[in-house]
Copies of this chain bind each other. A is one copy, B any other.
Amino acid sequence: MSRLRVTVWNEYLHEVENDLVHAVYPDGIHAEVASAVTERVDAQVTTATLREPENGLPQDVLDATDVLFWWGHKAHAEVADEVVERVHKAVMGGMGLVVLHSAHVSKVFKRVLGTTGWLRWREADEKERLWNLQPSHPLLEGVPEQFELEQEEMYGERFDIPEPDELLLISWFQGGEVFRSLCTWRRGHGRVVYFRPGHEAYPTYRNPHVRRILANAATYAARRVTVEIGRPIQVEALEPVPNPSKEHVG
């Protein structure tokens, strides 16, 4: 197999507009996510951000991407609809998509899953503990039975998503909520992953378990085929049929 091609997309606004966030992620969340992948996976990792032309995702970038990571929060509306359609089509055709944290209401996530991404939230510097439901799953390779994040934003159920194909982590929050924090779905020919933690004001993406999961996601969701899904196609019969040359009625 040729070398894995990863693109990490980030809104990249908090880090330049807010001193506290800048102190946590001086090079941007995308740089931190990229480094988590490269420290474990032999991949060619590039980054893209919102305010670049075409939101950093022209067609040729997607064509050369096996997995796309997506972090966004306050400017979901700024992502152009044609970019959203382009990403959707790429996923249908085989590209992996790893949706992070507040991108649960990004246009891309909602477009691919069809649901609203609704949830409850709170920022209170509280503890999150993530429980491992499938230690044998490739996404959780090297991840212990549970791990803690001392301070995170809370996301609570009901999380409005389709029933996941695989539910891999459930979070416990100090303030009393629970959350499905690591989920996968197959959509079209692509694999979609949602991974909850990662508020911009906490150094979550430097946690070793979180980094491990990011690296695992890069290989797990990687493109395995490239298919152009166009319009439904008319086909010849493989066995005898009564009226093989019938004209289309309607």
Contact = CB atoms under 8 A, between A and B. Distances in A.
Interface of A: 14, 18, 20-21, 73-74, 88, 92, 94, 104-105, 111-126, 129, 131-138, 141, 145, 151, 154, 156-160, 162-163, 165-167, 170-178, 180, 185-191, 199-201, 223-225, 227, 229-244, 246-250
12 contacts: A115-B188, A122-B235, A135-B189, A135-B225, A136-B189, A136-B223, A165-B166, A171-B178, A172-B173, A172-B178, A176-B237, A176-B238
Contacts of A154: 237
B242 A126 contact: yes
Contacts of A157: 131-133, 170
Contacts of A165: 163, 165-166
A2 B124 CA distance: 44
A229 B160 contact: yes
A225 B129 contact: no
A80 to B, nearest CB: 16
A181 to B, nearest CB: 10
A110 B117 CA distance: 17
A58 to B, nearest CB: 22
A244 to B, nearest CB: 5
B133 A246 contact: no
Interface majority SS on A: helix, strand, loop or mixed? loop
Given A170-B170, A170-B180, 9 more contacts: A88-B114, A113-B114, A114-B187, A117-B232, A118-B230, A122-B241, A126-B243, A163-B186, A199-B249
Contacts of A244: 124
Nearest to A243: B125
A229 B118 contact: yes
Contacts of A20: 249
Given A167-B163, A250-B21, A232 B121 contact: yes
Residue with the highest number of chain B CB atoms closer than 10 Å, among A124, A167, A180 = A124
Contact of A124 (B141, B201, B237): B237
Contacts of A105: 231-232
A185 B162 contact: yes
A236 B122 contact: yes
Contact of A138 (B224, B232, B236): B224
Nearest to A171: B178
Contacts of A191: 136
